[in-house]
Amino acid sequence: MKTALVFGSSGLIGNQLVDLMIKDNNYNKIKLFVRSEPTIDSSKLEIIKTDFNNLKNHYDSISGDDCFFCIGTTRKNTPDKDKYIKIEYNLPIEVARIAKLNFVNNFIYISSLGANPNATSLYLKNKGQAEQELIKLNFSNLSIFRPSILLGNRKENRVGEKIGILVMKTLSPLMLGNMKKYKPIKVENVAKAMIKVIQRDYKKNIIESDEIMEIASNV
């Protein structure tokens, strides 16, 4: 039986992930690192009210078997550039470093399609730089997921994203070969694949969106 650590459990992917792990007999404890109490309830859950500006105060709690990092934000929600970089770049690295020191073997990070440390987009640049730093930590198993546009019910209304989803859905049948990774992907398939890469000891750091779909679909 294993202990999971989840950062970002209230988000689109994190919420689906926790639902799956509650039903998964491989996990007997799921630590949720949160700012506020979640509505979800299960005897497996350990709720850790977290000061993300002082993670050293939670050093002993960031221990277990599998760490899932699903936290992300947008420039609309975090217009301050320094705070945005802290969430998108500094925070996953800080969590990963503590997890590594506490002998957490498996680290799963939600990045983005097109992540690149040299990108002009601050979002893609932060994701790409975070990926590079995570690889340097040499986890026993590190899986960096790069999902395409996510299909799921968000709590917040993102008009631009909805338009993008509609366009991508229309074009999806034409996306073949190297273009397959641009197809929109259901959030539940991302969550399924996150658990499966650990169960199957998937030896690959960077996992593109079409590969995520293949992992989720395989029985």
Give the mean model confidence (pLDDT) for residues 181-195: 92
Pick the residue with more confidence: 36 or 32? 32
Looking at residue 182, what is its pLDDT?
79
Looking at residue 46, what is its pLDDT?
96
pLDDT per residue over 143-170, tens digit each?
A: 999 999 999 765 555 555 555 555 455 5
Does position 8 have pLDDT exceeding 90, yes or no? yes
Q: How far apart are CA 162 and CA 158, in angstroms?
A: 6
Give the mean model confidence (pLDDT) for residues 23-41: 92
Q: pTM of this prediction?
A: 0.88
Looking at residue 155, what is its pLDDT?
58
Does position 27 have pLDDT exceeding 70, yes or no? yes
Q: How far apart are CA 70 and CA 142, in angstroms?
A: 14
Beta bridge partners of 140: none
pLDDT per residue over 64-85, tens digit each?
A: 999 999 999 888 889 999 999 9
Structural domains for the chain = 2-217 (3.40.50.720)
Looking at residue 71, what is its pLDDT?
96
DSSP character for 99? Answer: H
Give the mean model confidence (pLDDT) for residues 108-112: 97
Does position 185 have pLDDT exceeding 90, yes or no? yes
Average pLDDT, the chain: 89
Looking at residue 142, what is its pLDDT?
96
Where do we find the tokens 């996306």?
Answer: 175
Contacts of 213 (CB under 8 A, 6+ apart): 183, 185, 189, 193
Does position 55 have pLDDT exceeding 60, yes or no? yes
Where do we find the tokens 């998937």?
Answer: 202
